[in-house]
A = this chain, B = another copy of it.
């Protein structure tokens, strides 16, 4: 059986990748549409690649430097130094590869979705969802493949003998070097999510300010070099950024569960015919079941003409969920002794607890359901025509100030239920499975990431396809179809954001537990007594950290936008063909008419002359520059605090997680609700006309602008922050122990 547990996940992971590859090939083969559509599509695609190129160049240096640092700083641990650096590099590579592949396909699926929308709603849905599925299955496939392969290598090298009292036992060493994989994933996530978040909003603001305000040309005009950067931003933030974020959660949850699994080792081994290693294999097996469930689920995403794409996506997710529940119960019943209880060491209380096999199944399923519930709550708070957004729209009648206040209150209010859901998942998992159970509930929540992320990445593809249909002047019927796909995309985006925050929180807690366990293994029980001032101070600093980090991200958007503005102005000045075309476009816009034949000729002559790729590269550079300080903050603070006191670091991790999850939900939901309040006002039906309507609309536009960096930059960045500080702590634990003991 051991062979199966070792190689099973690899086989399924490869299957997921093959399936993703098939889907990608299928997407590529679809009709890319008219020449105009292909042109726009190629601009976006090459812009996205320019972003990745620039980003990966910096990342390569960063990753290699950290790898060397990791190797050197772990020099004291026998042979670990090379391996942990290797894990780190492989983790970074896998995440980067998933991002590259996912973006590549997403930018292809854009135009092809618009093209398919010329024929039928279902074929458009198929293309868009397939594009998303590639991202989803690549993330889980590469995650499990990377982890599984490294685990096999390390366990062959070190062996898997385990001793509860020796922190340098072979299994400890194996899992310790494996955790480098998680840090690698975090590095990419930091760049993709924080850098990408800054990038996407900087491009948005930059494009608007120079194009619309200064040059007086319409929004999304091809003459504006920043237009494509703006479109690229959607892919960067919502596809690659979200992908890297969930990749980090996925592998982080699995690795920390494997570490916590050690506490069940002897309890399982006591039973006749069972191997203690089953506890270590368990998280990867749950991942395996989740991938299978996700793949099957994708086959159930189908709709008819005039049907509701949301129902199709929901059906696929529910099917995956049901398979996941059945599969988990079956797998756990097989891997764990079903008779009698299983003893597990409790690193917190120092006692030995006893659990049943089904306890872990309850924990996994609890996590899965909790993730789904958080998604639905998020949707409730941010969707149009639901009570919260209705209230927000009402408050916009009296201007932007009241709407801003109402939105802030809405965001703050929306933290309560998700927090209580997370609390429920934690308590349930702890009661039925101890700390291992808590970590496994994070794995459970993330197990169906394959299809969850597919649904999520479907959103920006549908969104972009609508934009392309508009720019390429496709017919009204096509636009209706893409609109119907896009409307669903807003809902899935909200659900996805809630899911990402919830899973980040549970993952961070699992990693914190792994940090405590690692230190506990050395015989020094870490008592994080919150009333003990060092822990309390750690909690306080940790709690304040998300406030600082959010502020930095918000301010960075404004500053990066400045660099973008400079570059657009430079192109307007230096590219000869642009000036006459701009004047022509501006004249038509000022006179509120379509350009005449002569003007069209001038504009056409400049078509594609704007250097989109360079614009993207400049914005990327600015975004990456601006994320250095917050990034360093997230890495250095746990290091510095850890050197001061192990207890203070423990407090910091928990303080940062609890405050980070509240701040992330608050900001994401306030931003999402503001965005949708604008949409709802535009839809009309509020019995306001003329000036009153204009005022109300303008108020929601202001709110939407306020919410943009909150929901797309600072809010999601906190997912990364809370995981990054935890994974850094988990990685440096052996070094800190060497310092302190």
- The docked-state distance in angstroms from the alpha carbon of A70 to that of B329 is 50
- The docked-state distance in angstroms from the alpha carbon of A702 to that of B403 is 11
CB pair B416 A544 closer than 8 Å: yes
CB pair A516 B537 closer than 8 Å: no
Binary interface encoding of chain A residues 197-219 relative to chain B, with 1 for a CB under 8 A from any of its CBs, else 0: 00000000000010000000000
CB pair B532 A405 closer than 8 Å: no
- The docked-state distance in angstroms from the alpha carbon of A532 to that of B558 is 41
CB pair A530 B541 closer than 8 Å: no
CB pair A547 B650 closer than 8 Å: no
Binary interface encoding of chain A residues 532-567 relative to chain B, with 1 for a CB under 8 A from any of its CBs, else 0: 111111011101100110111011011000000000
Stretch of A101-109, A420-428, A684-692 lying at the B interface: A420-428
- The docked-state distance in angstroms from the alpha carbon of A490 to that of B540 is 29
Within 8 A of B (CB), among A376-409: 395, 398-402, 404-406, 408-409
CB pair A650 B531 closer than 8 Å: yes
CB pair B413 A548 closer than 8 Å: yes
CB pair A423 B537 closer than 8 Å: yes
Instruction: Flag whether A513 is at the interface (Cβ < 8 A).
Output: yes
- The docked-state distance in angstroms from the alpha carbon of A703 to that of B702 is 12
CB pair A408 B554 closer than 8 Å: yes
- The docked-state distance in angstroms from the alpha carbon of A254 to that of B508 is 39
- Chain B residues within an 8 Å CB radius of A661: 540
CB pair A530 B651 closer than 8 Å: yes
With known contacts A558-B402, A705-B401, A547–B426 Cβ distance under 8 A: no
With known contacts A412-B547, A527-B527, A406–B558 Cβ distance under 8 A: yes
Q: Of B406, B435, B516, B534, which contacts A427 at CB under 8 A?
A: B534
Instruction: Flag whether A24 is at the interface (Cβ < 8 A).
Output: no
Minimum CB distance partner of A645 in chain B: B427
Within 8 A of B (CB), among A412-449: 412-413, 415-416, 419-420, 422-423, 426-427, 430, 435, 438
- Chain B residues within an 8 Å CB radius of A267: none
Minimum CB distance partner of A556 in chain B: B409
Query: A interface, how many residues as a size bin?
Result: 35 or more
Copies in the complex: 2
- The docked-state distance in angstroms from the alpha carbon of A642 to that of B351 is 24
CB pair B405 A706 closer than 8 Å: yes
Instruction: Flag whether A529 is at the interface (Cβ < 8 A).
Output: yes
- Chain B residues within an 8 Å CB radius of A540: 419, 422-423, 426, 658, 661
Instruction: Flag whether A182 is at the interface (Cβ < 8 A).
Output: no
CB pair A531 B512 closer than 8 Å: yes
- The docked-state distance in angstroms from the alpha carbon of A706 to that of B400 is 9
With known contacts A409-B555, A551-B413, A513–B534 Cβ distance under 8 A: no
CB pair A426 B533 closer than 8 Å: yes
- The docked-state distance in angstroms from the alpha carbon of A702 to that of B624 is 33
A260 to chain B, nearest CB (A): 12
Main secondary structure of the interface of A (DSSP, over half): helix
- The docked-state distance in angstroms from the alpha carbon of A739 to that of B430 is 24
Instruction: Flag whether A509 is at the interface (Cβ < 8 A).
Output: yes
Minimum CB distance partner of A515 in chain B: B531
A565 to chain B, nearest CB (A): 11
Interface centre among A399, A405, A415, A535 (most CB of B within 10 A): A405
CB pair A415 B512 closer than 8 Å: no
Instruction: Flag whether A132 is at the interface (Cβ < 8 A).
Output: no
Instruction: Flag whether A498 is at the interface (Cβ < 8 A).
Output: no
CB pair A530 B535 closer than 8 Å: yes
Instruction: Flag whether A666 is at the interface (Cβ < 8 A).
Output: yes
CB pair A662 B413 closer than 8 Å: no
Instruction: Flag whether A349 is at the interface (Cβ < 8 A).
Output: yes
CB pair A541 B420 closer than 8 Å: yes
Binary interface encoding of chain A residues 690-718 relative to chain B, with 1 for a CB under 8 A from any of its CBs, else 0: 00000000000011011001100000000
- The docked-state distance in angstroms from the alpha carbon of A551 to that of B408 is 7
Instruction: Flag whether A362 is at the interface (Cβ < 8 A).
Output: no
- Chain B residues within an 8 Å CB radius of A412: 547-548, 550-551, 554
- The docked-state distance in angstroms from the alpha carbon of A555 to that of B550 is 24
Instruction: Flag whether A654 is at the interface (Cβ < 8 A).
Output: yes
- The docked-state distance in angstroms from the alpha carbon of A666 to that of B399 is 23
Minimum CB distance partner of A545 in chain B: B416
- Chain B residues within an 8 Å CB radius of A726: none
CB pair A405 B558 closer than 8 Å: yes
With known contacts A427-B533, A540-B423, A409–B551 Cβ distance under 8 A: yes
- Chain B residues within an 8 Å CB radius of A724: none
- The docked-state distance in angstroms from the alpha carbon of A531 to that of B512 is 8
CB pair A548 B702 closer than 8 Å: no
Instruction: Flag whether A528 is at the interface (Cβ < 8 A).
Output: yes
- Chain B residues within an 8 Å CB radius of A702: 399-401, 404, 702
Minimum CB distance partner of A527 in chain B: B529
Instruction: Flag whether A655 is at the interface (Cβ < 8 A).
Output: yes
Q: Of B426, B427, B531, B552, which contacts A654 at CB under 8 A?
A: B531
CB pair A348 B529 closer than 8 Å: yes
CB pair B349 A532 closer than 8 Å: yes
Within 8 A of B (CB), among A219-252: none
Instruction: Flag whether A719 is at the interface (Cβ < 8 A).
Output: no
A538 to chain B, nearest CB (A): 9
- Chain B residues within an 8 Å CB radius of A420: 541, 544
Binary interface encoding of chain A residues 316-344 relative to chain B, with 1 for a CB under 8 A from any of its CBs, else 0: 00000000000000000000000000000
Q: Of B409, B513, B534, B705, which contacts A554 at CB under 8 A?
A: B409
With known contacts A530-B535, A551-B413, A404–B404 Cβ distance under 8 A: yes
- The docked-state distance in angstroms from the alpha carbon of A555 to that of B547 is 23
- Chain B residues within an 8 Å CB radius of A532: 348-349
- Chain B residues within an 8 Å CB radius of A406: 554-555, 558
Minimum CB distance partner of A347 in chain B: B531
- The docked-state distance in angstroms from the alpha carbon of A484 to that of B318 is 67
Binary interface encoding of chain A residues 449-489 relative to chain B, with 1 for a CB under 8 A from any of its CBs, else 0: 00000000000000000000000000000000000000000
Interface centre among A348, A349, A406 (most CB of B within 10 A): A348
- The docked-state distance in angstroms from the alpha carbon of A492 to that of B603 is 60
Instruction: Flag whether A659 is at the interface (Cβ < 8 A).
Output: yes
- Chain B residues within an 8 Å CB radius of A398: 209
9 contacts across the A-B interface (CB closer than 8 A): A209-B398, A401-B706, A405-B709, A516-B531, A531-B654, A536-B658, A543-B659, A543-B662, A658-B659
Q: Apart from A401-B703, A408-B706, what are 8 other A-B pairs with CB-CB below 8 Å?
A: A408-B710, A411-B551, A528-B531, A531-B654, A543-B659, A543-B662, A547-B662, A547-B666
Q: List residues of chain A with CB under 8 Å of any chain B CB.
A: 209, 348-349, 395, 398-402, 404-406, 408-413, 415-416, 419-420, 422-423, 426-427, 430, 435, 438, 509, 512-513, 516, 526-537, 539-541, 543-544, 547-548, 550-552, 554-555, 557-558, 650-651, 654-655, 658-659, 661-662, 666, 702-703, 705-706, 709-710
The list of the 10 closest CB pairs from A to B, nearest first, reads: A401-B705, A412-B551, A430-B533, A409-B551, A528-B530, A419-B544, A412-B547, A543-B658, A413-B551, A409-B554
